[in-house]
A and B are shown apart, each in its own frame.
Chain A
């Protein structure tokens, strides 16, 4: 008899995603449905507006990815108008991008995902001296690790828990047998949770320096709005640049001496998760971090490409401008396409809602009909996973030395082969390894900026095409980036100086998409199918795999659940 588990919502941060898993008689997931339960429709808001303003609206789409949406937006307008931004603008954008990526990955690991592996309540039972000994071994270069430190931190934690405020540690299953860390490892991880919380307040100041303000830093079509004058008082000056450098050094320290050691320590306790949750085995990366302008993907630090069916000996080329490559299907989505079409390239994309689902609140969705507000983007008809694992695999398979180095080293430490990457833990580990590359690249990009400035080039924007009188009557463009959660692209159609059409395909739409016309599952669904459940009433296994993708349905279905904070709702029938 099939049992059905409903987890709704699954995100700890804003957004609304519903996952239904159908178990077989042996408590193994035999079918899964991922549903975005709120309509987005940002595209409708943008129609008819000035393309130069689009980024400021896009920045509001998601509370987490503000800068990445702004970046994709200015890039699509620049692509449409034929603007190539100055070198400094690319470098500053790279610094903003990398800052966002490192901050987001660290927050994800400690504040959104670690609680699937780390038992906060168990941490209270830890012996401070034994925890100090463990920390000395696991994270020897992290300065906070004495017995006294752990005793104090455990006291703070206990006070907090005793005051009944476990709320922020919600959506987990304390005491579940699937938690395998000893109390000392739990305490170490929880302490680092707090250190990460303090650190993330600092690193994001880089956005304030270059973006003028944060949250919602300023972008501009044609470059960056950051005025740089090494000796000036009212611009980004040498004092501010030195502060940026300090923050970058701090990021390298946090990633290499705290995050990665914690990641490897936790991973060592969960070897079975290197064989669970792999899912599609096909991956797509648009690539980003230009070193020779956005038009030259061969010089991107994150290389572009597609891997199909776990074949690491072949990286296929991808082009988001090619209508035959990227199509959005709606076979199982609550949308309508004109003229009976079932799939469209985003340049021709339309956003016409057609809700045919049950009236909320509902017990379950019908998987034989439309069941999501997300469309199903596909690459040449293939469902693909996007995100850190995709990026690490494309870099690794493409033979980039820095990717090979970090991947090989981590696999060696855990005594695993590359096949272990195709898993829930592989996805989580890829995010950490990517953070290591990103933190180092931050320093590289910073040094490039300083070199350019010293050589006398302080240009950050090209405003020759600012005046709409210089534009063609009609043009199309696209702006891609690699958001922390994966491939993101904005497609724009400009007509008579206004936005005629604007379509966005966010990473969570690739990953959380419903089935397509051929019945192929999206990445979340595929990753869940086959997962054994220890206790279906407390589905920590589902949380582990879905959280390993870092879901942000604020991106995909846009927003905040109307009922606010909700604990995981579990219904077993």
Chain B
């Protein structure tokens, strides 16, 4: 047999994955993808960070989590707050959502993805979800004004998180100053 479970396209992986999730055809539902673009642009060269547009894929994204030390997910999160509110969820908060229902338009995806990674023993050591409270989740391209206006704040939050990760560990090494 020429094939093994771990074989094939085994590329060196950046220790940090920034994963945008959402549907770009459903207005604010796609805020995670817009946020990803913005973070990517303002981050400059970041060899130790990988940025992936996950769209609305679920299980199929599992491969991108393998071998990561840290994961930052960007998504629309509906917690019943004011549209444009930026949410940052970490460990305990995320665990809470697993037991609850109905928090984000993609909960089935994002949380299922994390649970499956855990089942395989491949959950990244640190997981943070950054989300923006949506105003309009219906067919259409482009964000609502409130969510568009929240992008700079959300991007700043992601930047802080990435910097915090760098301070607290050596995963970024010397090359990741700009991440």
Residue ranges of A at the interface with B (Cβ–Cβ < 8 Å): 12-14, 39-42, 44-45, 57, 59-64, 66, 103, 107, 111, 156, 160, 164-165, 167-168, 194-195, 197-202, 204-205, 208-209, 215-216, 243, 245-247, 249-250, 253, 554, 558-567
B2 touches A201 (CB 8 A): no
Bound complex: CA of A558 vs CA of B140, how far in Å? 12
CB contact between B23 and one of A209, A560, A567 (< 8 Å): that residue: A560
Bound complex: CA of A247 vs CA of B24, how far in Å? 31
* Inter-chain contacts of B121 with A (CB < 8 A): 156
CB contact between A64 and one of B5, B54, B57 (< 8 Å): that residue: B57
* A60 touching B55 in the complex, CB below 8 Å, given contacts A42-B139, A249-B3, A250-B3: yes
Shortest beta-carbon distance from B135 to chain A in Å: 13
Bound complex: CA of A42 vs CA of B8, how far in Å? 36
CB contact between A202 and one of B5, B118, B141 (< 8 Å): that residue: B5
* Inter-chain contacts of B7 with A (CB < 8 A): 202, 246, 250
- Flag whether B156 is at the interface (Cβ < 8 A): no
Bound complex: CA of A571 vs CA of B111, how far in Å? 27
29 contacts between A and B (CB under 8 A): A12-B108, A39-B139, A42-B139, A45-B25, A60-B24, A63-B23, A63-B109, A64-B60, A111-B59, A160-B118, A160-B119, A165-B98, A167-B98, A167-B115, A168-B115, A168-B116, A197-B59, A197-B120, A198-B5, A202-B7, A202-B8, A215-B57, A216-B55, A243-B9, A247-B8, A558-B25, A565-B107, A565-B108, A566-B102
* Inter-chain contacts of A57 with B (CB < 8 A): 25
9 extra interchain contacts, Cβ-Cβ under 8 A, other than A42-B139, A63-B109, A565-B101? A60-B56, A194-B120, A202-B8, A202-B9, A204-B63, A247-B8, A249-B1, A560-B29, A560-B105
B139 touches A558 (CB 8 A): yes
Shortest beta-carbon distance from A373 to chain B in Å: 11
B23 touches A107 (CB 8 A): no
A200 touches B59 (CB 8 A): yes
Residue ranges of B at the interface with A (Cβ–Cβ < 8 Å): 1-3, 5, 7-9, 23-26, 29, 53-63, 66, 78, 98-99, 101-109, 111-112, 115-116, 118-121, 137-141
CB contact between B101 and one of A61, A165, A564 (< 8 Å): that residue: A564
CB contact between A63 and one of B57, B115, B141 (< 8 Å): that residue: B57
Shortest beta-carbon distance from B99 to chain A in Å: 7
* Inter-chain contacts of A205 with B (CB < 8 A): 8-9, 63
A204 touches B56 (CB 8 A): no
B25 touches A42 (CB 8 A): yes
Q: Which residue of B lies closest to A15 (CB)?
A: B108
* Inter-chain contacts of B118 with A (CB < 8 A): 160, 165
A62 touches B103 (CB 8 A): no
Bound complex: CA of A60 vs CA of B109, how far in Å? 15
* A66 touching B8 in the complex, CB below 8 Å, given contacts A61-B25, A164-B99, A563-B101: no
Bound complex: CA of A262 vs CA of B127, how far in Å? 35
Bound complex: CA of A165 vs CA of B60, how far in Å? 20
Specify which of B9, B66, B107 lies most central, judged by the most chain A CB atoms within 10 Å of its CB: B9
B9 touches A215 (CB 8 A): no
Shortest beta-carbon distance from B59 to chain A in Å: 6
Bound complex: CA of A554 vs CA of B60, how far in Å? 15
Shortest beta-carbon distance from A12 to chain B in Å: 8
B115 touches A165 (CB 8 A): yes
A564 touches B25 (CB 8 A): no
Q: Which residue of B lies closest to A61 (CB)?
A: B25
Bound complex: CA of A543 vs CA of B68, how far in Å? 36
Shortest beta-carbon distance from A319 to chain B in Å: 30
* Inter-chain contacts of B109 with A (CB < 8 A): 14, 63, 560
B102 touches A247 (CB 8 A): no
CB contact between B2 and one of A202, A208, A249 (< 8 Å): that residue: A249
Bound complex: CA of A40 vs CA of B3, how far in Å? 41
* A168 touching B112 in the complex, CB below 8 Å, given contacts A57-B25, A66-B55: yes
A60 touches B98 (CB 8 A): no
Q: Which residue of B lies closest to A247 (CB)?
A: B8
Shortest beta-carbon distance from A346 to chain B in Å: 18
Shortest beta-carbon distance from A318 to chain B in Å: 30
CB contact between B8 and one of A61, A165, A243 (< 8 Å): that residue: A243
* Inter-chain contacts of A63 with B (CB < 8 A): 23, 55-58, 60, 109
Bound complex: CA of A31 vs CA of B141, how far in Å? 39
Shortest beta-carbon distance from A242 to chain B in Å: 9
B55 touches A45 (CB 8 A): no
Q: Which residue of B lies closest to A564 (CB)?
A: B107
* A14 touching B115 in the complex, CB below 8 Å, given contacts A60-B23, A205-B9, A208-B9: no
A215 touches B26 (CB 8 A): no
* A40 touching B5 in the complex, CB below 8 Å, given contacts A165-B118, A167-B98, A194-B120: no
